[in-house]
Structure 1
């Protein structure tokens, strides 16, 4: 049975640091920094199997345009405990604590070509994204990111909005597809751009991405780079036109992003 609790002590920071190293295989955050963060508005929630820390979600206080928010910087789960709903529960516990502390917004980033993360952030949690950051963290050397620009979606989680609280569904029946996913002679998924409308005016659009981007990258770095650059162009075009990513449909061999106009979402009067 997995148990969850807020992490506050130096010993717990050390447990988080050890798990962080195993998850990403790169330099870890100093424990003095994480401890200071939680003493100044930050929140770390840990998931324990017996007495072993197997997952954590780490966030620190952020501030932008006169408003505070929680920047949820890391979500790490031991490889032996993935696909068990731990990530979703960690986020929900972090949300509960954030509201208690006075936050109404949480933000974090993820690689838009990672379907597992997209499904959690958009479909399960009802986060939204209308912000694309090119090469957000520069050249990263860990196994997940090495070799490609570290482009990121920035998720905005409107913690107390009807859209999140009521888990409002946005599943348009026939979104207009802006690309298709085909397979090359090696059986690898390739990006194919469809005919592009001169203006984006429809209720909803979709973009298809590979189901297993890490597997694709291992098989063909060139093909992975093409996906990065081609989708970057389409994502930025949609966001510039006022659309937001609201869902990732997990299909058998690929994921399908769904976009609608942000103004159509019930965010409780907060469109930031």
Structure 2
């Protein structure tokens, strides 16, 4: 199958981009980005954003939309996804690598973004592979109908990525103490447990998934928002049932 990574520009491609939002995240018409806004973000004079699509045999299979911020050296990763049937083909990696070159050429040195704190696979990709750190926690960040996250409030972690094609390697300390709502130690490093497979857990035991949301919300909000810690990686124990964020305390200002 022929693969191509390039900018999304035509009206037809923009319609495909909206359809992808519906299929990837289960967003309804109110939750997807409008074709008017998407079209405005494709303008090159003025330069509004970078909207890259991954095309497989001419069909849009994934995309990444990054928009500028009021910080000249930082951009915001608004959406990044690949259709389920096209995953595990390296498309996400190729889109991301192309985006890093595009941003670097524009003088962008870092990129912010958000993701669901209980999505272990995404945490592994963002923190371990892409070199991001999570520096904040936002309870109920979004108020939209979303089939993928139906049954749980849409909490999000705030991320900061370095704009580089060679993310720094990380040394993950898996022997740090485990933090829980009733026990939040003040150590250089602490671990916070999350489910390895959120979608599977929701299907099997939605009540348990909701408990994870509330427990991790309390712990991560305290460490990231109040104590100055960052989530610098995710440890993946051999048992396969859970993952554990590695939180690191920042240096005092």
TM-score category (smaller protein) = 0.7 to 0.9
* Alpha-carbon distance between aligned partners in 2 of 1:122 and 1:155, rounded to the nearest angstrom: 9
User: Cα–Cα, structure 1 residues 249 and 172, in superposed 2: closer, same or farther, change >3 Å?
Assistant: closer
> Deviation digits for residues 5-55 of structure 1, max 9, x if unmatched?
122333322221232222233223222211211324311111111111111
The answer for the alignment partner of 1:227 in structure 2 is 212
Q: Do residues 171 (structure 1) and 183 (structure 2) align?
A: no
Q: 2:228 and 2:242 mapped to 1: Cα distance? A: 25
Which residue in 2 is equivalent to 1:246? Answer: 232
> Which residue in the other structure is 2:158 paired with?
154
1:20 match: secondary structure: helix
Query: SS at 2:95's partner residue?
Result: helix
Verify the 8 A CA contact 2:131 2:167 in the aligned structure 1.
Answer: no
- 86-95 or 74-83: bigger deviation: 86-95
Equivalence for 2:25: 24
The reply to whether residue 106 of structure 1 matches residue 111 of structure 2 is: yes
Partner of 1:131: 136
Specify whether residues 195 and 17 from structure 1 end up closer, same or farther in structure 2 by C-alpha distance, changes over 3 A only: closer
User: Shift in Å at residue 166 of structure 1?
Assistant: 5.2
Equivalence for 2:148? 144
Q: Contact conserved, 2:172 with 2:235, CA < 8 A, in 1?
A: no
2-structure distance, mates of 1:170, 1:233:
26
Note the C-alpha offset of 1:71: 1.4
CA distance in 1: counterparts of 2:33 and 2:219, whole angstroms? 34
Report the TM-score, using the length of structure 1 for normalisation: 0.81
Deviations 1:208-235 (A, max 9, x none): 1111112222233322221111101111
Q: Quick check: 240-249 or 8-17, which moved more?
A: 8-17
The aligned counterpart of 1:43 is: 50
1:256 to 240, 244, 247: 244
Whether 1:58 aligns to 2:58 is: no
Deviates more, 1:226-235 or 1:38-47: 38-47
Aligned length: 243
- Alpha-carbon distance in structure 2 between the residues aligned to 1:137 and 1:195: 29
2:249 and 2:48 mapped to 1: Cα distance? 32
Counterpart position of 2:12 = 11
The CA deviation at 1:159 is 1.8
Contact 1:88 1:120 in 2 (8 A): no
Tell me the distance in 1 between the aligned counterparts of 2:213 and 2:133. Answer: 20
RMSD value, Cα: 2.3
Query: 2:54 touches 2:61 (CA, 8 Å); kept in 1?
Result: yes
Tell me by how many angstroms 1:68 deviates. 5.3
CA contact (8 A) 1:55 1:76 kept: yes
Q: CA deviation at 1:136?
A: 0.3
Q: Structure 1 residues 223-232 or 13-22, which shifts more?
A: 13-22
Q: Please state whether the residue corresponding to 1:216 is helix, strand or coil.
A: helix
Secondary structure at the counterpart of residue 38 of structure 1: coil
How much has 1:173 moved relative to structure 2?
4.9
Q: Tell whether the 8 Å contact from 1:38 to 1:60 is kept in structure 2 after alignment.
A: no
Q: Give the Å deviation of 1:260.
A: 1.3
